[in-house]
Amino acid sequence: MKKLTTVEIDGAASDVWVEVPENEPAAWPKDAEMAVLGKALPRVDAYEKVSGRAKYTHDLNLPHMLWMKTLRSPTPHAKIVSIDTSKAEALPGVKLVLTHKNAPDIPWYAGRSKLFDTTLRFVGDEVAAVVAADEHIAADALALIDIEYDELAYVLDPETALQPDAPAIHEGGNLMQGRPFVYSRGDADKGFAEADHVVEATFRSPCQVHACLETHCSVAQWQGDKLTVWDSTQAVHPNREALARALELPIANVRVICLYSGGGFGSKLGLNKYTVAAAVAARALGRPVKVTLDREEEALAAGNRPANLMTIRAGCKKDGTLTALYMKNIGSVGAYPAGAGAGAPLREIFKCPNVKTEESNVFINADVARPHRAPGHVQGTWALEQALDMLAAKCGLDPLDFRLRNYSETDQVRNLPYSTKGLRQCYERGAAAFGWHDRAARRAQSRGAKKRGFGLATQIWGGAGGPPGYAIVNLYADGTAHVFSGCQDIGTASRTSMLQVAAEELGLTPDKLSITMGDTQGTPYGGVSGGSRTTPSQAPPVRMAAAEVKRQLLELAARQMNLPAERLATRDAFVFDTQNPSTRKPIAEVTRAGLTGPGAGPENMLIGKGWRGPNPDDVSISSWGAQFAEVEVDTDTGEVRVVKIVAAHEAGRVINPLTGSSQIEGGVIQGMGFALYEERVLNNASGRMVNSNLHDYKIPTAKDMPEIECVLVDLPDARANSVGIKGLGEPPIIPTAGAIANAVADALGARVFEAPITPQRVLDALARGKGGSGGATLSP
Amino acid sequence: MKKLTTVEIDGAASDVWVEVPENEPAAWPKDAEMAVLGKALPRVDAYEKVSGRAKYTHDLNLPHMLWMKTLRSPTPHAKIVSIDTSKAEALPGVKLVLTHKNAPDIPWYAGRSKLFDTTLRFVGDEVAAVVAADEHIAADALALIDIEYDELAYVLDPETALQPDAPAIHEGGNLMQGRPFVYSRGDADKGFAEADHVVEATFRSPCQVHACLETHCSVAQWQGDKLTVWDSTQAVHPNREALARALELPIANVRVICLYSGGGFGSKLGLNKYTVAAAVAARALGRPVKVTLDREEEALAAGNRPANLMTIRAGCKKDGTLTALYMKNIGSVGAYPAGAGAGAPLREIFKCPNVKTEESNVFINADVARPHRAPGHVQGTWALEQALDMLAAKCGLDPLDFRLRNYSETDQVRNLPYSTKGLRQCYERGAAAFGWHDRAARRAQSRGAKKRGFGLATQIWGGAGGPPGYAIVNLYADGTAHVFSGCQDIGTASRTSMLQVAAEELGLTPDKLSITMGDTQGTPYGGVSGGSRTTPSQAPPVRMAAAEVKRQLLELAARQMNLPAERLATRDAFVFDTQNPSTRKPIAEVTRAGLTGPGAGPENMLIGKGWRGPNPDDVSISSWGAQFAEVEVDTDTGEVRVVKIVAAHEAGRVINPLTGSSQIEGGVIQGMGFALYEERVLNNASGRMVNSNLHDYKIPTAKDMPEIECVLVDLPDARANSVGIKGLGEPPIIPTAGAIANAVADALGARVFEAPITPQRVLDALARGKGGSGGATLSP
């Protein structure tokens, strides 16, 4: 056992201990010849997906199922004076109307709200829910609920919210925790005083909604006192526990299933009110209840990446060596507690002795922020990398040379060496693939109003994963195996990755394995699929469980082959003698002979259990990447076209180049949306979102796609874990916007300080004139 | 590892090794004070069952599901000359007709038949299957299949089948393996020569069908190359493996589910043709397929307890000491290989130096025998116990005294001592509860034609269980736990028993636990629920898994309570200091503090795995029992009414007196059916069963019930396993018929040598006159 951390429970400090695996396999050596790992295996569920057989939560319709629709606040801040549901209840087909009057008092948002609250703090906050025979009746009934609201003053932007006379959304004011979060190392003032060049700029990043193609949804069904919830979620086991707490059930009585999900990006990490309301209604009515958010609800009330206003000051010596970095960040968390920090990249990526960040999380009357793929890092990197390009220009340095000059071999926040750091390879291989050093010649080819530009940006992400992570592997009498993981595959090909890890360790070909994920029944605990945790947290337990099975398999084989188990190994579905590899026996024959009982056929299985130990505390583990963007900007219309992105990433061992590239491409596309298209627009006069649909809220489409070239730096990290991997889920979205912004500035000779880079903002920047410094305005 | 046995695989001998658990808990001491074990806990699924919420396979209807019906041979022996399915296929709603022409060639019945064969060997043998939009269309379509049969000569009774000129059902003749199975110890001829008294009688027992209230049924559904089968089965994991073999799928691609089943009694142990056919059809059609046997099919083609013709000779000294026992048994296995032995009780129960049995398994043109609750033992005990009463009468000994005189302390077949043997307590406590020694006075109260009689019989059953058996126990952060077992609860309250074992070991109250059984997904391998194996095979792994969890729990608690883990124990959901029991902490607090991660709420679980080691080889482990019957026989009408049964049984530790008594009552009722009512009647002229329905085939009903008193002898067996239990599933059916038969003979002064004891047979016996010896006729 090893002490992991100390947490506060009911006011008392409690130590959290982790069992350190004793028989965890040692890391594979870097040059080990792999049979399955690193190979471009197509996804194991590819057929299900392309044939439409893969069933998502939206697809599930149970016999006797009812539908729930939610009435949401039409006003950004109000108290409910009265609510009359009688007309709605009288509508034929309506089974139940839930409001604060009859729903259980389940605390929500860290106790600042309830499942159904009488104070509404944003447009979209839950007022009531109708359960009816179908969704159309439920929707009709919503309009029949009579409510009298006492409308309150509201505030939509964080700077106004911080004014002393701003409407207070919560007691204690609109600044979360009453103070900014301040980080400091060295002496920033001294660092700026020592600088030869200093730049300062203010950057404004948009509120980006997750825009999941499968909107949030759940189906709840009871059998006696046992609840099954099909939920489009990134966290079946944590949500099971949260449901158990909310409904005061034993954890064991709750089952959560999510076999496939159509996008989450962080917005499906936690438990949702509608899921609990559906479970409450299903229990009351004795029938299954389904709830799906429509596209507008998805935009209004499913979470978002918060908007940030970031002022960055950066100073360096003539040779480009950084002397000081500073960021002031104001982030809007929405109506309830959340996080809106953006300073991590500035604190972490580049070598700098004097760093200070001051960050304020501010309540506004809008939907609550939720983790959105690389929270904080996307906007923080976008701002930082632009400021660095401005500083590099002052020094007359190539942007890549400037970054290499400030390359850090250590984690300066934790004061630890990195386990491995492949950023230099990302820069070098990415630049080579991109033709970074030929860009002057390519820029000269620009014709007329369409200007070419080139930019790059860097990425750090703490993709170490860690406990909890468990796995069970069964090897059957026919020599096939099954992997049980409590995690879920949220579209990132986790099933395929885990299966490859197990196949490699067992020495089986992938066709001999199958896997269960996304179902709490019969799987050991798995954590959230978020924070790029899934692979580094789950793959080591899967390997350990497979190794435990292999140990037993080799014992059986040793007796059958009359050889010591230590001399035996497995590969390609054979057990073989390492001293004489032609002496071998199919694994299926070993299991059949070793596990077949005296009766009629196979009767047994081998079982292995694996779990995740804590990370080493003498190194820092991070994933790395650099992206290079080529853009073409039409200086007449202001339109930006991304021509090409080269994305070079290092996340330890490459498990599967196909799925790794797929992960990178998805990140680049989403990062492009942040850079160029996506922005929640609130109407100040009503507090409502004006683009709560996919017609007005633009996400990148197939026609917007640039050429994307993925460079996977394969650098197994033996200190990270036994599989040598780090997380790759979030990294690829992080540097895209910064690379594009720098490329746009390169093309224009003028910089757009506000994302998304819309045609109007491009034209405004051109009108404002060429400038190496400047910033966004301080009000919207 | 320990060598369990040697089996033949593809002609080569292979050793089967079992991993011996190193950390299996020691057996609980006999006088341990139990908190949960031994308590009368109501079934954990009682609410589901009485409320109708428990879903059986018959209840399952999936979207887009199709129905399959089977065309069965109308003739006992034939070859299919031609088959034309075109009219059936043309019927609107028919999707597929499967016959030998288009179905895969899957071998069946040890290679003597196929999924659809062209030779039919009994009325009910599968000819074709129709899959249609509903079951009525499917049934209509069966009548549209045109078939030309070449009818062959047939034979329905085993004595005729053994004649040289009998129609041969298989090559090699109708005697299975070409020879009787012969057992001999000592010298039977010499034993009879030494005897002062010898009796000989011939007994005829009926073919008893299982008559499951939920007829056999399956639903098959594919998702891609993965198959899920809901099956009313006693063996989810073995059937999963059998399905994988039949369909050439990886075991991991098959899931079998049976959450509740309405009776099996051995007839649902193996894989059935209709299940495979439904899976084949579902794959071909891309839709789920359901098949349910109707009541006639259930009688014709779902298995049975074979009919036996048993001649017993028994000899003893004047004082009642047995000198020799002999049995000749002819059993009808039906049209394909099966077992029809009945000699085991004679070889095993009573002390006797000279024993010989000669047993022939004979093919006839009728449905195949399958294990039926205590196969062989019911009919063998029924015959033996009558012969012993006849011998006791010759000696002038009380039947109970006679049996006690021949009490054996050792297993004479294996030449080993018994681990424990509570038969003496069963005799003593049963006799006391019954008032055995007052029966002369009670017999004298008989009035008129209604004669009272009293009888007893004895039971042995090898209820040791054994490997394979696995369990996984999870303890969650809220202090609740879940047990995963690959076995199934076939109505015997296994869920409740396993939960009690886990609760006892964990020190949790039963309301904190839940359990999954009957689903191969996420459960470790479990064997068949047959042979009274479930509890003795499954409970020790459950305890071992719980102990492994408790070890981890106490480590967490030790750190929190600053006490060595060795000093801590659990009870009533608390961890407490064994040296100072008032120092205690709720388990839920220990888990919450110890497993709650640094983030939002509980994030972890403790996992324990347990498995079943082999039984010791220096003792013999058996379950024991004695039953006492009081009957009233109407000598005018021949009707027998059972007034009272006292059933005293010893099967090691009593886990739950409620569910144990329920098990015994069910056995007694079924044994009464064998004794008095049940008999498959075949029409010699057609080869068809004439009573293939529950109107003509009589099973006991509520109005037939006697008073049943259960005596549970609680005798924890430390040599058997860590829980101290033996099997109780089959024992209670074994002695009932013998006790009733002896009571009827006691009432009449004449003996009925043929079961069931119908009124006609009673009147025949009375007409034949009082007789201590005699026997059934040799032809039906």
What CA–CA distances, in Å, run from B752 to A291, A574, B385, B741? 68, 63, 13, 7
Tell me: pLDDT of B444 over 90.
no
Model confidence band, residue B161 (pLDDT cutoffs 50, 70, 90)? very high
Give A727-747 pLDDT, tens digit per residue.
Answer: 999 999 999 999 999 999 999
Q: For residue A469, what are the β-bridge partners?
A: A526
Model confidence band, residue B602 (pLDDT cutoffs 50, 70, 90)? very low
pLDDT at B12: 61
CB B559 within 8 A of CB B518: no
In A68-87, the residues whose Cβ lies within 8 Å of chain B are: none
CB A663 within 8 A of CB A655: no
pLDDT at A594: 83
pLDDT at A592: 87
CB B332 within 8 A of CB B160: no
Model confidence band, residue B15 (pLDDT cutoffs 50, 70, 90)? low
CB B385 within 8 A of CB B739: yes
pLDDT at A598: 47
**Alpha helices, H only, B91-172:** 135-142, 158-161
CB B537 within 8 A of CB B469: yes
* C-alpha triplet B50, B56, B58: angle, nearest 5°: 125
Which residues of chain B does A600 touch, with a Cβ-Cβ cutoff of 8 Å? 238, 242, 270
Decide if B596 and A16 are in contact by the 8 Å CB cutoff: yes
Minimum CA–CA partner of B287 in chain A: A53
pLDDT at A773: 44
Q: For residue A114, what are the β-bridge partners?
A: A107
Give A327-343 pLDDT, tens digit per residue.
Answer: 999 999 999 999 999 99
| A19 near B CB under 8 A | yes
Decide if B524 and A607 are in contact by the 8 Å CB cutoff: yes
pLDDT at B157: 94
Which residues of chain A does B48 touch, with a Cβ-Cβ cutoff of 8 Å? 223-224
Which amino acid is it at A714? D
Which residues of chain A does B549 touch, with a Cβ-Cβ cutoff of 8 Å? none
pLDDT at B776: 47
- Cα separation, B366 vs A138, in Å, equals 59
Decide if A524 and B602 are in contact by the 8 Å CB cutoff: no
CB A301 within 8 A of CB A322: no
Q: How far A99 CA sits from the closest chain B CA (Å)?
A: 27
Minimum CA–CA partner of A238 in chain B: B603
Tell me: pLDDT of A11 over 70.
no
In B511-570, the residues whose Cβ lies within 8 Å of chain A are: 511-514, 516, 519, 521-525, 527, 552, 555-556, 559-560
pLDDT at A23: 80
Spell out where B144-216 has E strands.
Answer: 146-151, 181-185, 197-205, 208-209
Tell me: pLDDT of B663 over 70.
yes
CB A245 within 8 A of CB A86: no
Cβ neighbour number for residue A79 with a 10 Å cutoff: 13
Which residues of chain B does A522 touch, with a Cβ-Cβ cutoff of 8 Å? 484, 516, 519, 521-523
Least confident piece of the model among A473-477, A634-638, B413-417: A473-477
Decide if A14 and B482 are in contact by the 8 Å CB cutoff: no
Which residues of chain A does B523 touch, with a Cβ-Cβ cutoff of 8 Å? 522
> What are phi and psi for residue B542, nearest 5 degrees?
-60, -45
Which residues of chain B does A596 touch, with a Cβ-Cβ cutoff of 8 Å? 7, 9, 14, 16
**Residue B308 CB contacts under 8 Å (≥ 6 apart), including other chains:** B203, B204, B205, B329, B330, B331, B332, B340, B342, B379, B380, B383
Tell me: pLDDT of A600 over 50.
no
Which residues of chain B does A47 touch, with a Cβ-Cβ cutoff of 8 Å? 224-225
Q: How far A487 CA sits from the closest chain B CA (Å)?
A: 12
Interval A87-98 mean pLDDT: 98
CB pairs under 8 A between A and B: 207
CA atoms B48, B51, B55, B56: torsion sign: positive
* Cα-trace Rg, chain B: 28
Quote the ipTM score. Answer: 0.79
Q: How far A132 CA sits from the closest chain B CA (Å)?
A: 21
Minimum CA–CA partner of B601 in chain A: A242
Which residues of chain A does B556 touch, with a Cβ-Cβ cutoff of 8 Å? 17
- Cα separation, B188 vs B192, in Å, equals 6
Decide if A250 and B478 are in contact by the 8 Å CB cutoff: yes
pLDDT at A36: 96
- Cα separation, B452 vs B444, in Å, equals 8
Tell me: pLDDT of A597 over 80.
no
Helix (H) or strand (E) holding A346: helix A344-348
Q: How far apart are the first and last CA of chain A?
A: 53
Question: Which of A7, A14, A522 is closest, CB to CB, to B521?
Answer: A522
pLDDT at B778: 34
Question: Which of B468, B523, B605 is closest, CB to CB, to A603?
Answer: B468
* C-alpha triplet A323, A325, A328: angle, nearest 5°: 160
Minimum CA–CA partner of B110 in chain A: A600
pLDDT at A332: 96
Tell me: pLDDT of A601 over 80.
no
CB A526 within 8 A of CB A467: no
What CA–CA distances, in Å, run from B22 to A279, B1, B269, B548? 44, 10, 31, 11
Give A605-650 pLDDT, tens digit per residue.
Answer: 888 989 888 899 999 999 999 999 999 999 999 999 999 999 999 9
**Residue B440 CB contacts under 8 Å (≥ 6 apart), including other chains:** none
Model confidence band, residue A24 (pLDDT cutoffs 50, 70, 90)? confident
Interval A79-92 mean pLDDT: 98
Q: What token pair was written down for A246?
A: 């909310």
Spell out where B549-706 has E strands.
Answer: 568-571, 574-577, 580-586, 605-611, 623-634, 640-650
- Cα separation, B425 vs B624, in Å, equals 10
Tell me: pLDDT of B149 over 90.
yes
pLDDT at B109: 95
Q: How far A738 CA sits from the closest chain B CA (Å)?
A: 31
pLDDT at A29: 86
What CA–CA distances, in Å, run from A179 to A182, A413, A455? 9, 21, 36
Strand, coil or helix: what is B76? coil
In A22-51, the residues whose Cβ lies within 8 Å of chain B are: 47-48, 51
pLDDT at A779: 31
Decide if A594 and B244 are in contact by the 8 Å CB cutoff: no
Decide if A17 and B480 are in contact by the 8 Å CB cutoff: no
Q: What token pair was written down for A667?
A: 């990140």
pLDDT at B601: 38
Active site residues of A: 730
Residue A190 DSSP symbol? H
Decide if B478 and A519 are in contact by the 8 Å CB cutoff: no
Give B719-772 pLDDT, tens digit per residue.
Answer: 999 999 999 999 999 999 999 999 999 999 999 999 999 999 999 999 987 544
Give A35-50 pLDDT, tens digit per residue.
Answer: 999 999 999 999 989 9
Q: What is the mean pLDDT of chain B?
A: 94
Give A754-765 pLDDT, tens digit per residue.
Answer: 999 999 999 999
Tell me: pLDDT of B278 over 90.
yes
Report CA B167 to chain centroid distance, whole Å. 33
pLDDT at A776: 47
Which residues of chain A does B514 touch, with a Cβ-Cβ cutoff of 8 Å? 226, 250, 252-253
Decide if B600 and A270 are in contact by the 8 Å CB cutoff: yes
Smallest CA-to-CA distance from B292 within B369, B228, B351, B216 is with B216
Interval B288-303 mean pLDDT: 97
Check residues A654 and B32 and name the one with the higher pLDDT. Answer: A654
Strand, coil or helix: what is B146? strand
Give A253-287 pLDDT, tens digit per residue.
Answer: 999 999 999 999 999 999 999 999 999 999 999 99
- Cα separation, B98 vs B105, in Å, equals 12
State the residue for tokens 């559904």. B221
Interval B638-646 mean pLDDT: 98
DSSP code per residue over B605-631: EEEEEEEPPPPPSSSB--EEEEEEEEE
| B108 near A CB under 8 A | no
Dihedral of CA atoms B677, B680, B684, B690 in degrees, nearest 10, equals: 90
Interval A100-123 mean pLDDT: 96
In A576-605, the residues whose Cβ lies within 8 Å of chain B are: 592-598, 600-605
pLDDT at A17: 64
Report CA A115 to chain centroid distance, whole Å. 26
- Cα separation, A18 vs A132, in Å, equals 47
pTM summary value? 0.88
In B187-226, the residues whose Cβ lies within 8 Å of chain A are: 223-226
Q: How far B502 CA sits from the closest chain A CA (Å)?
A: 14
B345 prior amide bond cis, ω within 30: no
| B52 near A CB under 8 A | no
**Percent of chain B whose predicted confidence (pLDDT) is above 70:** 95
Tell me: pLDDT of A294 over 60.
yes
Model confidence band, residue B310 (pLDDT cutoffs 50, 70, 90)? very high
**Percent of chain A whose predicted confidence (pLDDT) is above 90:** 87
Interval B29-38 mean pLDDT: 90
Cβ neighbour number for residue A107 with a 10 Å cutoff: 13
Model confidence band, residue B600 (pLDDT cutoffs 50, 70, 90)? very low
Tell me: pLDDT of A768 over 60.
yes
- Cα separation, A287 vs A278, in Å, equals 10
Which residues of chain B does A519 touch, with a Cβ-Cβ cutoff of 8 Å? 521-522
Tell me: pLDDT of B603 over 70.
no
Tell me: pLDDT of B375 over 80.
yes
Minimum CA–CA partner of B10 in chain A: A593
> What are phi and psi for residue A750, nearest 5 degrees?
-145, 150
